[in-house]
């Protein structure tokens, strides 16, 4: 509990801001999500109903166009003298019969070409039961059956009208279809033939099927409540007085749509009466199904959750960064507050503010003196740090080397153990001497060879080391241990993935500079670890000397200036190239 209290006190500013931000984000997101779903649903219903009202008008126009073409064709047949004469004449012999069929078919072809749609069938029957069928496949009927059907009686009772009716009886061979019938009569009232136009239910469905979809249904209902066509095939042939009642009531409503419950389900209801066919065109919209297809509630919720999560994450990172800097400053100042201030600040505000004020109350009085001392001692301190680093020898390196020598002796590899001891002694003598001492290139090479011999004795010779040194460089001087850290770095970091390879050491004079190159074909480094051709940040101290590769660069520049130092280039899977530039010195310093 005490740890928890201390944690809350140390981070209370962050916790307060973060909680307020999270609660606000979640509350706003919930409100917006709920409002969006509700508004989109209401907007969708209104827009969809308006759109479907226009669609209903378009379907009605298509039906009216159909009835207009029927009326036009009926008038042409009624006023066609050739058809009238052919139907009134007697045709006793085969020649007359053939002539009769030829001319009738020719006249009907001309009139039939103007009937819309093309799937509509046109049939003329004479009083002697002769049938002229323009599309026998659509309606396979013979004159005797048709003459004895009750439909003829209905037509004769309305001789001046086109009678529309729905049939799915034996007359149509069980095929549902709409039949428009008209009696052909003289002025005297004598009926000399009958004209029929038929359209099957699948052909009738083409008038509106393109406007339907999942949850968006169209039905054609007769004044008796019978459903004669629908994109829902299972509804065809059903009788629904409730649906008919809604359609009749909708005529008197001044509304774009009506919400009804029919077939045990809630629908948005639109209706249009088509007088020419004496049927009701009804549109039933399943609000829930259609809304799901247009507005994906789950997707909106998932997007809202994603936005909230991203917002909380961004808020966390930003607030944590803002408050972290203050908290870090508080902790740093608290650690530094060891002096008595002569002009204390007023301690007010929250936890962080009070801590900062208290820290400055300790620091302010000594600030000027501290700055002066810091300026004078900075360079000395840096040199002392480098000297201390150079004198350090890793205990792990000593322990592992001695353990390896012990193991070699047990295996009776006395010569290898003896060589390793000599190399180890040479390294120790070189490392504990004066930090500012410079040695010749030849001595540095001997130290490198000693270091390489120790590592190869311990780990095997899977990493080969080659030396290419210009003879005129052997007597030149360079600081101790400027090459060894890079050899060590290559041994222990460059061949993690690759298990074998080589390291090449090249030393020569170029452009009045002593240039030392260390090249390996190891794993390489990613570009993020290199900045301005040098190591971006200080690496962990090396296993032997404690001098990291970045320390070498800073040590050279501190000693010789900005024109000298270390440059590193590397490429993944191909290796690393290190170039050390030093002044040409032929005397020890």
Average of per-residue pLDDT across 90-100: 85
pLDDT at 159 (0 to 100): 81
Q: State the average pLDDT for the chain.
A: 80
Tokens 């310093």, located at residue: 589
User: What is the rounded distance in angstroms from the CA atom of residue 550 to the CA atom of residue 355?
Assistant: 36
User: In terms of pLDDT, which residue wins out, 418 or 531?
Assistant: 418
Give residue-wise pLDDT tens across range 146-187: 999 999 999 998 888 899 888 888 899 888 899 999 999 988
Give residue-wise pLDDT tens across range 346-365: 565 556 656 766 766 666 66
Q: How confident is the model at residue 387 (pLDDT cuts 50, 70, 90)?
A: low
User: What is the rounded distance in angstroms from the CA atom of residue 65 to the CA atom of residue 531?
Assistant: 80
pLDDT at 199 (0 to 100): 92
Which residue segment(s) compose the domain that 421 sits in? 392-583
pLDDT at 30 (0 to 100): 82
Query: Which CATH number is 519's domain given?
Result: 3.30.565.10
pLDDT at 544 (0 to 100): 44
Contacts for 49 with CB less than 8 Å, ≥ 6 apart: 256, 257, 268, 270, 285
pLDDT at 338 (0 to 100): 47
User: In terms of pLDDT, which residue wins out, 382 or 464?
Assistant: 464
Please check whether residue 123 lies inside any domain of the structure.
Answer: yes
| Under 8 Å between Cβ of 555 and 545 | no
Please check whether residue 152 lies inside any domain of the structure.
Answer: yes
Q: Is the pLDDT of residue 277 over 80?
A: yes
Q: Residue 28: name the closest of 304, 338, 329, 432 by CA.
A: 304
As a whole-number percent, the residues of the chain with pLDDT over 70 amount to 76
Query: Which CATH number is 156's domain given?
Result: 3.30.450.20
pLDDT at 540 (0 to 100): 44
pLDDT at 336 (0 to 100): 46
Q: How confident is the model at residue 341 (pLDDT cuts 50, 70, 90)?
A: very low
Please check whether residue 192 lies inside any domain of the structure.
Answer: yes
Cα separations in angstroms, 113 against 66, 116, 359, 491, 512: 13, 8, 102, 94, 103
Q: How many CA atoms are closer than 13 Å to the CA of 487, on its beta-carbon side? A: 27
Please check whether residue 344 lies inside any domain of the structure.
Answer: no
Q: Which of 204, 228, 243 is the last residue of a domain?
A: 204
Q: Residue 162: name the closest of 198, 201, 126, 189 by CA.
A: 198
Q: Which of 204, 225, 260 is the last residue of a domain?
A: 204
Instruction: Please tell me the pTM assigned to this model.
Output: 0.46
pLDDT at 392 (0 to 100): 54
Average of per-residue pLDDT across 571-585: 92
As a whole-number percent, the residues of the chain with pLDDT over 90 amount to 25
Q: Which of 204, 232, 251 is the last residue of a domain?
A: 204
Please check whether residue 133 lies inside any domain of the structure.
Answer: yes
Torsion, Cα 64 69 75 81, to 10 degrees, reads -170
pLDDT at 555 (0 to 100): 80
Q: Is the pLDDT of residue 342 over 60?
A: no
Q: How confident is the model at residue 580 (pLDDT cuts 50, 70, 90)?
A: very high
User: What is the rounded distance in angstroms from the CA atom of residue 46 to the CA atom of residue 20?
Assistant: 39
Contacts for 129 with CB less than 8 Å, ≥ 6 apart: 142, 143, 144, 146, 147
Please check whether residue 157 lies inside any domain of the structure.
Answer: yes
Q: How confident is the model at residue 11 (pLDDT cuts 50, 70, 90)?
A: low
Tokens 């004079």, located at residue: 509
pLDDT at 474 (0 to 100): 93
Cα separations in angstroms, 485 against 342, 447, 448, 544, 548: 49, 12, 10, 8, 6
Q: Alpha helices of 460-541 — where are they, by DSSP H? A: 484-493
Contacts for 573 with CB less than 8 Å, ≥ 6 apart: 523, 524
Contacts for 260 with CB less than 8 Å, ≥ 6 apart: 246, 266, 267, 269
Q: Residue 569: name the closest of 507, 512, 526, 539 by CA.
A: 526
Please count the structural domains in the chain: 2
| 267: phi then psi, degrees, rounded to nearest 5 | -135, 160
Q: Is the pLDDT of residue 536 over 60?
A: no
Q: Which long-range contacts (CB under 8 A, 24 or more apart) does 226-229 make?
A: 226/166, 228/166, 228/176, 228/178, 228/201, 228/279, 229/176, 229/201, 229/204, 229/205
Please check whether residue 363 lies inside any domain of the structure.
Answer: no
At 58, which helix (H) or strand (E)? helix 12-79
Q: Residue 552: name the closest of 565, 564, 537, 536 by CA.
A: 565
Please check whether residue 342 lies inside any domain of the structure.
Answer: no
Q: Is the pLDDT of residue 390 over 60?
A: no
Q: Is the pLDDT of residue 109 over 50?
A: yes
pLDDT at 340 (0 to 100): 45
Q: Residue 238: name the closest of 264, 268, 263 by CA.
A: 263
Structure tokens at 15: 């916790």
Q: Is the pLDDT of residue 499 over 90?
A: no
Structure tokens at 215: 């949850």
Cα separations in angstroms, 543 against 349, 445, 456, 520, 552: 49, 19, 15, 19, 15
Helix/strand/coil for 587: coil
Q: Is the pLDDT of residue 543 over 60?
A: no
CA 572 to chain centre: 31
Give residue-wise pLDDT tens across range 410-441: 877 778 888 888 888 877 777 666 555 788 99
User: What is the rounded distance in angstroms from the CA atom of residue 41 to the CA atom of residue 356?
Assistant: 55
Q: Which residues pair with 531 in a beta bridge?
A: 534
Through-space distance between the first and last CA atoms of the chain, rounded to whole angstroms: 62
Outline where DSSP puts E strands in 231-348: 258-262, 265-274, 279-285
Q: What is the DSSP string of 109-126?
A: HHHHTT-SSTT-EEEEEE
User: What is the rounded distance in angstroms from the CA atom of residue 79 to the CA atom of residue 73?
Assistant: 10
């Amino acid at each position: 509990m005490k740890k928890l209290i201390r944690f809350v006190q140390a981070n209370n500013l962050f916790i307060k801001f973060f909680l307020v931000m999270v609660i606000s984000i979640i509350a706003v997101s919930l409100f917006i999500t709920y409002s969006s779903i509700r508004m989109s649903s209401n907007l969708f219903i209104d827009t969809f109903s308006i759109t479907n009202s226009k669609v209903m008008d378009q379907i009605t126009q298509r039906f009216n166009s159909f009835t207009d073409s029927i009326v036009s064709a009926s008038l042409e047949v009624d006023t066609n003298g050739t058809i009238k004469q052919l139907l009134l004449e007697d045709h006793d012999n085969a020649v007359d019969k053939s002539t009769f069929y030829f001319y009738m078919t020719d006249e009907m072809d001309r009139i039939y070409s103007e009937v819309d749609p093309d799937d509509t069938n046109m049939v003329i029957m004479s009083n002697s039961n002769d049938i002229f069928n323009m599309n026998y496949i659509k309606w396979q009927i013979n004159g005797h059956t048709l003459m004895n059907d009750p439909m003829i009686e209905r037509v004769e009772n309305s001789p001046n009208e086109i009678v529309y009716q729905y049939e799915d009886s034996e007359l149509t061979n069980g095929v549902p279809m709409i039949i428009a019938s008209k009696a052909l009569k003289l002025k005297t009232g004598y009926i000399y033939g009958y004209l029929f136009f038929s359209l099957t239910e699948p052909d009738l469905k083409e008038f509106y099927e393109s406007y339907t979809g999942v949850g968006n249904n169209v039905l054609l209902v007769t004044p008796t409540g019978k459903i004669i066509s629908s994109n829902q095939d299972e509804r065809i042939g059903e009788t629904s007085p409730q649906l008919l009642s809604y359609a009749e009531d909708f005529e008197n409503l001044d509304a774009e749509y009506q919400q009804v419950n029919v077939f045990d389900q809630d629908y948005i209801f639109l209706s249009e009466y088509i007088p020419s066919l004496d049927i009701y065109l009804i549109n039933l919209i399943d609000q829930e199904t259609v809304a799901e297809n247009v507005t994906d509630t789950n997707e909106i919720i998932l997007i809202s959750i994603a936005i909230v999560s991203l917002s909380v994450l961004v808020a966390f990172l930003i607030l944590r960064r803002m408050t972290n800097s203050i908290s870090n400053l508080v902790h740093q100042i608290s650690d530094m507050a060891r002096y008595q201030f002569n002009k204390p600040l007023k301690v007010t505000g929250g936890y962080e503010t009070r801590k900062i004020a208290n820290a400055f109350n300790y620091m302010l009085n000594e600030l000027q003196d501290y700055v002066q001392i810091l300026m004078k001692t900075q360079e000395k301190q840096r040199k002392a740090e480098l000297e201390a680093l150079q004198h350090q020898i890793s205990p792990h390196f000593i322990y592992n080397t001695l353990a390896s020598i012990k193991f070699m002796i047990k295996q009776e590899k006395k010569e290898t153990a003896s060589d390793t001891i000599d190399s180890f002694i040479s390294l120790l003598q070189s490392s504990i001497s004066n930090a500012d001492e410079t040695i010749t290139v030849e001595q540095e090479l001997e130290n490198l060879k000693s270091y390489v011999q120790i590592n190869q004795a311990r780990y095997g010779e899977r990493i080969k080391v080659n030396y290419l040194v210009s003879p005129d460089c052997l007597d030149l001087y360079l600081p101790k241990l400027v090459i060894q850290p890079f050899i060590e770095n290559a041994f222990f970091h460059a061949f993690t993935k690759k298990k074998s390879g080589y390291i090449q050491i090249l030393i020569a004079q170029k452009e009045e500079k002593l240039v030392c190159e260390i090249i390996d074909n190891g794993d390489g480094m990613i570009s993020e670890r290199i900045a301005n051709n040098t190591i971006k940040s200080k690496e962990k101290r090396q296993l032997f000397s404690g001098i990291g590769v970045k320390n070498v660069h800073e040590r050279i520049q501190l000693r010789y200036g900005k024109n000298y130092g270390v440059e590193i280039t590397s490429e993944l899977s191909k290796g690393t190239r290190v170039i050390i530039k030093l002044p040409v010195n032929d005397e020890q310093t």
